[in-house]
Amino acid sequence: MSASAETGGRLRLGVNIDHVATIRNARGGAFPDPVRAAVLAEKAGADGITAHLREDRRHIRDADIEAIMAAISVPLNFEMAATAEMQKIALRHTPHAVCIVPERREERTTEGGLEVANDENRLRDFLVPLAEAGCRVSIFIAADQRQIEAAARIGAPVIELHTGAYCEAHAEGDEAARDAELAKLREMASFAHSLGLEVHAGHGLTYETVSPVAAFPEVRELNIGHFLVGEAIFSGLDSAIRRMRDLMDRARGMEGVA
């Protein structure tokens, strides 16, 4: 059975350390160090480290990528825009995974994921060298059937569903909208899985919002960053990651399973 066909089982946690770099960059200098955060996240139980090298380098910088890859033994999930510059950088480092994300407004769907359906030919060509270099390519998209079908057509093996709308509705206390977003995520996780895609999810997840998404049996990996880095201010990064890991395992009915 291929990885994409599996459901249930242990859910992987990718910890996004971008916002450690955001705090570092607020002052310039070297502290806090995202490499140290990546090493700590691995020790706390992260199955992977996620980092987004933005075109404007507002958090992670080029040198961070090399330093993080040298310091961790779990895989790096390198998030990037679909640009020639980023493709060149990814091919230089060949991280385990590359996640294509929108950065500019015109690259986004109405719900914030990558606009794949209107850019299929370019994106199909864009993925080829990354896949040939051995990177597992994923596409960050809204829970939208049209985008998921387009992602499958261009040959992406993995999609990451954008959970931002669900988390925003929860934060606003709009229960009807939250439940509607959650239902859409559930349905689209199942639909993507039926097409043979491996399904990941992330964006905006917190202790309060993670469990229902973690319970979707088709979801294999969650990528979580901003909340964990914020929570680390109060409880420490190790504790924040362990608590998130525990919530994910409980949602999966796997608490206490190594």
Contact partners, residue 93, CB within 8 Å, separation at least 6: 65, 66, 69, 76, 78
Catalytic site residue 200? no
**221 or 249: whose CB is closer to ligand PXP?**
221
**32 or 225: whose CB is closer to ligand PXP?**
225
Using rule CB under 6 A, residue 16 touches ligand PXP: yes
**152 or 210: whose CB is closer to ligand PXP?**
210
In angstroms, the CA 244 to CA 219 distance is: 16
**1 or 201: whose CB is closer to ligand PXP?**
201
Out of 36, 54, 93, 226, point to the residue binding ligand PXP (CB under 6 A): 226
Strand partners, 201: 161, 222
Nearest-approach distance from CB 92 to ligand PXP, in angstroms: 21
In angstroms, the CA 160 to CA 142 distance is: 8
Contact 130, 154 (CB under 8 A): no
Using rule CB under 6 A, residue 202 touches ligand PXP: yes
Q: If 0-12 CB within 10 Å is exposed, 13-18 middle and 19+ buried, where does residue 213 land?
A: buried
**102 or 253: whose CB is closer to ligand PXP?**
102
Using rule CB under 6 A, residue 225 touches ligand PXP: yes
Binding to ligand PXP (CB under 6 A) within 74-133 occurs at 79, 99, 101
- 84 to each of 79, 87, 103, 113, 126, how far by Cα in Å? 14, 5, 14, 20, 8
* Token pair listed for 31: 């502290």
Q: If 0-12 CB within 10 Å is exposed, 13-18 middle and 19+ buried, where does residue 246 land?
A: middle
Which stretch in 5-13, 120-128, 174-182, 201-209 sits in contact with ligand PXP by CB under 6 A?
201-209
Catalytic site residue 52? yes
Using CB under 6 A as the binding criterion, the count of chain residues that bind ligand PXP stands at 16
Contact 45, 245 (CB under 8 A): yes
Strand partners, 61: none
Out of 141, 227, 249, 252, point to the residue binding ligand PXP (CB under 6 A): 227
Using rule CB under 6 A, residue 186 touches ligand PXP: no
In angstroms, the CA 160 to CA 198 distance is: 8
Nearest-approach distance from CB 22 to ligand PXP, in angstroms: 10
Strand partners, 202: 162, 223
Using rule CB under 6 A, residue 32 touches ligand PXP: no
Catalytic site residue 59? no
Residues that bind ligand PXP (CB under 6 A): 16, 52, 79, 99, 101, 140, 160, 202-205, 223-227
Active site residues per annotation: 52, 79, 203
